[in-house]
Structure 1
């Protein structure tokens, strides 16, 4: 089977380009030493959204964030218009008293990357049985993940490489690597 390199960039997470996460870090008061409650994390992320589409998303975190340096918690931001999702990984950088500071790292969940790969390669007429990706695609220029396309016409491995990040939109190119 022959597949070509795709360019220009494929938009992996189709959240509204005008929707911005206004800070790359955050700070929450926990009122105690143990954790930042899930609801507080969601409220903090929601409060940091700006732009004309700021009311058209939902933030859902997987759970509480431990109040210890290097603890992580993943949250998903889902755009209500089309259901597209961008992940935000919160990483604790400091804990001082009842204040917890954290960095925010954007990523596209592996399932969203797989969906984009399938949409892209199915368009040229390829019958795809399944697409599985090795992992998420980090929203940082040059980050990569690989996806395997299973097809009755043959199997192919594609590499997704982040090209740009605009707000919550992570753009990436796809390249056939085998």
Structure 2
């Protein structure tokens, strides 16, 4: 009896296992949820402050880059770096934070805009709709929140977005855990 294995499906399954081991979907969603929560609290305390919207995304992606590097060192032999590229997104966000018009950009694009751009950059590399959807929602919602609503309402709405990203992170984590359980 001869068994035929489709190389494309085998490669896709291997890449899916690698992404699950790296927590390539749940890690960015968890980081984004944490960043949105920090932005919500900081803007609840000071509704007119825009510095957190410039600095928080860079700190979020720095933390994710460090966590991903640590997991890569501790992980099994078949875990590779992958295509996540948290460092590239971190570099883009740091350059955006030090852009001369960063405070103006935060005022008109909204405080969660950079976090949404980060998710979209990661989703583009990974072709993951679970990252692309929240990225689009954050970019559009942040822009609408900044232009239409009062800064006093920004904190509660960002907290609602943080809860939504946290729920998606939980879904992604369970999906990755189920995939890794199939290995064992």
TM over 0.5: no
TM-score by length of 1: 0.31
Structure having the higher helix fraction is: 2
Compare relative contact order (CA 8 Å, sep 6+) and give the higher one, 1 or 2: 2
